Homo-oligomer: A and B are copies of this chain.
Amino acid sequence: MDKNLKRMATMQRMQITGLELFYKKGYYNTSVDDILKELSLSKGAFYYHFDSKEDFFIQIIENLLVRRIYSMLIEPIEGHDNALELITNCFENALETAVHNELDYGFVLNNFMNEFNGRNENIMKHLNDILKIWEVNLVSTIQKGKFNGHIDRHVDAEGVALYLMSSYIGVRTLMVENSPSARKYRFMAQLKHYFKSIEVKQSAF
């Protein structure tokens, strides 16, 4: 069983370094040798554990990327509290970690979708699945908010979800280059403005 442990450890190491480099330099711009050099491993080791570069990346998606998105954007908004508050806090936290990223390259999922769109249908399918899960989750959170009386019953949940996803993806891109901290602050302020326009009017006077 010790063998199996070693196997898992090596594969894990490869995937972590792989994601790091793919995120930093892009998939097509990162050679398998780049990753191997970083780990002091050989071609043989790589192709012993993975069928191909593509297979390697898909495993990274399933093992690392999915979980990352889940813990960052999906799990935090599950629950029955005030939906808008949950989402606000979730975005706040997600953007905060982005601010503290030494080298930030934007929203991982978005970067990869951008790179593979029209180039690799197979990988695109996997990435799109994650996005869809996020969307479904946002929609159901907003629906819950409508039932709970925190959100105006007339709002289009799918529309709100789309608008939230859009703005998040966009601001993550814009935070990369210029004063991420200030942009985060500005963004959150506008998000709250927007939320005011869709929450139930507390008291008609």
Contacts and interface: CB of A to CB of B under 8 A. Distances in A.
Contact of A174 (B155, B156, B169, B186): B169
Nearest to A183: B162
Nearest to A127: B177
A197 to B, nearest CB: 4
A184 to B, nearest CB: 10
A165 B176 contact: no
Q: Is the interface of A mostly helix, strand, loop or mixed?
A: helix
Nearest to A124: B177
Given A26-B115, A28-B29, A115-B26, A158 B173 contact: no
Max chain B C-beta neighbours (<10 A), residue from A158, A168, A193: A193
A66 interface: no
Interface residues of A, number: 49
Contacts of A149: none
A93 interface: no
Interface of A: 24-26, 28-29, 103, 105-106, 110-111, 113-115, 117-119, 124, 128, 131, 155-156, 158-160, 162-163, 165-171, 173-174, 176-178, 183, 186-187, 189-191, 193-194, 196-198
